[in-house]
A and B are shown apart, each in its own frame.
Chain A
Amino acid sequence: MIVSIASGKGGTGKTTVATSLALYLNGKGQNTVILDCDVEEPDSALFLKPVLNKPKTVDIPVPTVDFERCTYCGRCAEVCAYNAIAVAKKTVLVFPELCHGCGGCALFCPEGAISEVGRDIGVVEEGDASGIKFVQGQLKVGEPMAVPLIREVKRRGIKENKEIVIIDVPPGTSCPVIKSVEGSDFVILVTEPTPFGLNDLKLAVETVKKISIPFGVVINKDGIGDSGVDLYCELERIPILTRFPFSREIAVAYSKGIPIIDAGVEFRQKFEELYDTILSIIQGGL
């Protein structure tokens, strides 16, 4: 089973819920895997403190031109949809940060002058956090493209057996979110009860609806704002899976990298409820 933890708005507590859920499941003796797909800012490791193996670089193929063969015909520049390759008088320029690695230029070069080399865009790290299998990606600084790295994290973390996979999804609603969430059995949307939280929750709901995966809401920092999120969920018949109150103690625990499940005994119970509700929704086929 794969459960993704997402939120349109950043900073709502996605990572603390994801890591806590992993800890809860691991504590129950479940085979648990956590994937940090928030490759721009991976923070799960701060909470779980895994022992990591040597990082492996992830690269995407970019073209290189053999000038012995190139006739400067310009076909590569014509087929590239991203303007990542340009042909000038007696040279061919490649702009690696624009290249998506589609392979078009190499495929269509009539002279066979283009081959592809790897360009590193970040690393994946695998490890173990007291029994939880841990995989994270880290995008290289200055690198715009997160999606290939997310694919690699998922490829390494998701094997076809009986474990439960928890995915920490990047914030937002665009392409990297879809790529992270795709293939999940359930999505938990973490929000906070403020107008910002509500606005971004609505967008996140649209996003998961687009890929037709069952979902529910966790309200974090309950008590800080207004009742907008509650009203919206009621109106849209979105299940509220559980709530965590706002308190200074939780905020302080969070600041030290303590997952919410370890911030007080009452929270373990909440994760039990959360997990049971998810199971019943998935099994009930709602």
Chain B
Amino acid sequence: MRQIVIISGKGGTGKTIIAASFAALAKNGVAADCDVDAADLYLLLHPEIKERHKFKGLPKAEINQVKCTGCGRCLEVCRFGAVKKQVHDRSPLFLIDPLSCEGCKVCYYACPEDAITMTESVSGEWFISETKYGPMVHARLGIAEENSGKLVAIVRENARSVALERGLDFVIVDGPPGIGCPVIASLSGVDLALIVTEPTLSGIHDMERVIDVARHFGVKTVCLINKYDINLENSGNIEKWCERNKIPVLGRIPFDNSVSESVVKGIPIVEYMHNMVTQRIKEVWWEISEVKGE
């Protein structure tokens, strides 16, 4: 079983379209949507949810106003600015701003009156589903929550065990944008990272950063240039950069309106039509699916 993650650094380069196409082409894989902040893969794969699980984030502080004597110790020790002081009828009132609280518990230990409790809350959900093309594991992080890395790790773990249980050959991971915590969680322990880039200055810049991250974690990396004909000079520069850095460029996909049409229709493009775009995507998939993991 091999795990392949599709990432890009920059958002909007076509990651999800590629991931959905691979899921459709694989026939023996599990799709995992690790962009838990803004999950879109379901719009193309239409999963039917079979299992639903709650995701609990770190418990956050709450102040029991009956016990609180207003000493202000919590305000002193919190480094995240989560304790807010208000004045009511000339006596101070201390409150916790849940959006700033990082759940470190320092105030909980420091409060001399034991007035602080740590309250667990549900900060997301994750699902195991069935699609036309096989199982899918996905999630939904609550708005404004942290810990997306932890939720990504749960999605990855479950996708992996579903693949093992059912004897499937691939886990296809649609990764999040950026290079931070959720990206690191999406990358760790995969067999291959496919970077989807586009020939724009930001696409190139972001690709270079995300490739550095993949390397940092020792993940084998290949690249695909989407909408390569938007700027041939930049595409050429990407190829040169990749050659210098020994990153194989597995494909060049032209810009075509059929891609957004397929998104509007809610179908992976390889299932929607046959053209240059889908031909190239298939070639990349064939190449990847035959490369054995190292």
B 206-231 to A, binary, CB cutoff 8 A, 1 in contact else 0: 10011011001100000000010011
B202 near A224: Cβ-Cβ < 8 Å: no
* A 174-201 to B, binary, CB cutoff 8 A, 1 in contact else 0: 1111100010000000001011100110
**For A170, what are the chain B residues with a Cβ–Cβ distance below 8 Å?**
178
With the chains together, A203 CA to B145 CA distance in Å?
Answer: 12
Residues in B neighbouring A171, C-beta threshold 8 A: 11, 37-38, 177-178
| CB nearest neighbor in A for B17 | A196
B10 beta carbon closer than 8 Å to chain A = yes
One of A136-144, A260-268, A276-284 contacting the partner: A136-144
Nearest residue, chain B, Cβ from A206:
B143
Report the separation of the CA atoms of residues A187 and B109 in the bound assembly, to the nearest whole angstrom: 38
- The answer to whether B16 has its CB under 8 Å from any CB of chain A is yes
**Contact stretch, chosen from B154-162, B165-173, B240-248, B256-264:** B256-264
Q: Which residues of B contact A196 (CB under 8 A)?
A: 16, 40, 43, 263
Of the listed stretches B63-71, B179-187, B280-288, name the one at the interface; the rest are far from the partner chain: B179-187
B38 pairs with A102, CB closer than 8 A: no
| Cβ-based interface call for B72 (8 A) | no
Q: How many A-B residue pairs have CB under 8 A?
A: 183
Specify which of A9, A173, A252 is in contact with B12 (CB 8 Å cutoff): A9
For chain B, the bracket of interface size reads: 35 or more
Q: With an 8 A cutoff between CB atoms, is B84 at the interface? A: no
Tell me if A224 and B257 are in contact (CB < 8 A).
yes
In contact, A103 and B37 (Cβ under 8 angstroms): no
For B177, the chain A residues whose CB sits under 8 A away are: 10-11, 40-41, 171-172
Are A225 and B260 in contact, with the CB atoms below 8 A?
Answer: yes
Contacts of B146 in A (CB 8 A): 174-175
Contact with A along B67-109 (1 / 0, CB 8 A): 0000000000101100000000000000000010011111001
* Cross-chain contact B37 with A40 (CB below 8 angstroms): no
Closest 6 CB pairs of A and B: A10-B11, A11-B12, A40-B178, A102-B104, A172-B37, A144-B181
